[in-house]
Structure 1
Amino acid sequence: MSSSREQSESENLTGKVLIAMPGMSDPRFQRSVVLICAHSDDGAMGLVLNRPLPEIDFGDLLEQLEIEADNGARLIEVRFGGPVEPGRGFVLHNVPEHGSDPEGRLRIGQDLAMTTTRDILEDLAHGGGPESAVLVLGYAGWGPGQLEDEMLQNGWLVGDSAEELVFGGDHDVKWQTALRAQGIDPSLLSAAAGRA
C-alpha cells in the first residue's frame, strides 16, 4: 500500500497540459489547452496556451511598465492565460535543464519555467533573455480538489506538454494537436456525454 505522499506525487500534474473536452461549459476554456504550472493538495494554477491577444502589443506593455526598449528588443507574443488576475503577467520561457532557479522563477519541467519578475522583461527589452518566451496575462486557478472534480466530470483530458504547444504560434490547431498526441481523433469526439 502506498503512502498518501507517494499517491500525491504520482498524481501531480505540474508540467502536464489539460485539454478541454468538447462538453466544456465554460466559454473561456472551450477548445483550450492549459499548461499546469503548479499542482498540489492546495489546488492548481495553469496558463492557457492557445488564446493569443493580438490587440495587446508587447512593446506597448513595456512602455506602460516604463521599461525602455532598445533597437534589439525581442517583441514576444502576448496571450490570455486565464480569467484570474488578468492584469498580472507571467513569462513562460525555456531554461537550461540543470541549474539553480533565481527568485521569481518557477520551474515547470526540466527545460521550462515561468518567471514573474521585471528582470526578464528588461532582458527581453534589450535583446537578451531566453531563446523562447511568451508573455501571458492572467491565469487559470483551481481550489483544493476542484480540478480533480472537473476531470472526473469529463471536463479535461490530461496530456504531455510539448514545445510546439507552449511556444508555437499556430493557435488554431493546438487543441487538435494536443488531442492527436494522446491518440484521439478530434472529429470523433462529441460534446454529448452518454448516459446508461
Structure 2
Amino acid sequence: MTEVSSLAGRLLVATPSLADPNFDRAVVLLLDHDDEGSLGVVLNRPTPVGVGDVLEPWAPLAGEPGVVFQGGPVSLDAALGLAVIPGDEGPLGWRRVHGAIGLVDLETPPELLGPALGSLRIFAGYAGWGPGQLEEELGDGAWFVVESEPGDVSSPHPENLWRAVLRRQRSELAMIATYPDDPSLN
C-alpha cells in the first residue's frame, strides 16, 4: 500500500455537492489519518442533550453551548472529549492531536484536568473512513481540506462554522461561503 500523507489536525469542509446527509455542510476535524484509515469528529452538529445529562462531572468544564455534539454517524454511544490546552506540555489525561488541540481521557477525574483546560467539547460518535476511503472522497471532490484553528473546536456558534471556516480562506474557497442553503430557490 502507498504511504498516506497525514491530514491529522486539518479540517475537512463538506463541499456543497456532498450528498451524504450525515455530512451536509459539515466541518470535520481529523484526529487520525494514516494508511489504515481516518477518524474525525464533526464540529458543527450540536445536539439538544446537555453535557451534564450524560457526563455530569465534566459539565462545568464544557464550553458554550454546553451540549453534546454528534461527532459523526459511527458509535453514537461512545463519547470523545476534545480540549484546547495552550503551551508545550499537557496534563495527564490529555493527548495532543495537533497544535493546542488534544483528546481528553474521559476516565480521568475532571478536577485533574480542569485547571489546564482552555475549552472542552464532548462528542457522541465519530466519523470514520476505511483505508483509502477518504482519499477516494477527496479525489471525487467531496471535501475541501483546510488548516484548523484552536477556536474551531470551541466555537460558541457552531451553526456558523461551515461559512466561517470557508470565509477565512485566502482563495476562491472564500466565495463558497456564500453558497445558498438551497440553490433551487435562486
CA distance in 2, matches of 1:106, 1:147: 24
Please say if 1:112 is aligned against 2:105.
no
Gaps of at least 5 residues in structure 2 are: none
1:157-172 mapped onto 2 (5 Å cutoff): 157-172=144-159
Structure 2 CA distance for partners of 1:133 and 1:43, relative to 1, 3 Å = same
Please say if 1:45 is aligned against 2:39.
yes
Output the aligned Cα RMSD: 2.8
Gaps of at least 5 residues in structure 1 are: none
Of 147, 151, 167, the residue aligned with 2:138 is 151
Q: Which residue of 2 aligns with 1:123?
A: 111
Q: What do residues 100-123 of structure 1 show as CA deviations (whole Å, max 9, x unaligned)?
A: 674x64321121101233215x33
User: What TM-score does the superposition give when structure 1 sets the normalisation length?
Assistant: 0.78
Quick check: which has more Rg, 1 or 2? 1
Q: Which residue of 2 aligns with 1:138?
A: 125
Shift of 1:178: 1.4
> Does the CA-based 8 Å contact 1:82-1:140 persist in structure 2?
yes
Q: What do residues 161-195 of structure 1 show as CA deviations (whole Å, max 9, x unaligned)?
A: 01232111212221111112223212358999xxx
Structure 2 CA distance for partners of 1:165 and 1:96, relative to 1, 3 Å = closer
CA distance in 1, matches of 2:23, 2:149: 19
Shift of 1:68: 9.4
Q: Which residue of 2 aligns with 1:25?
A: 19
CA distance in 2, matches of 1:145, 1:101: 34
Point out the structure with the larger strand share: 2
- Supply the AA of the counterpart residue of 2:140: Q
Q: What do residues 138-171 of structure 1 show as CA deviations (whole Å, max 9, x unaligned)?
A: 0000000000000000100000101232111212
Q: Judge which range, 37-46 or 87-96, deviates more.
A: 87-96
Q: Which residue of 2 aligns with 1:178?
A: 165
Percent identity (aligned): 33
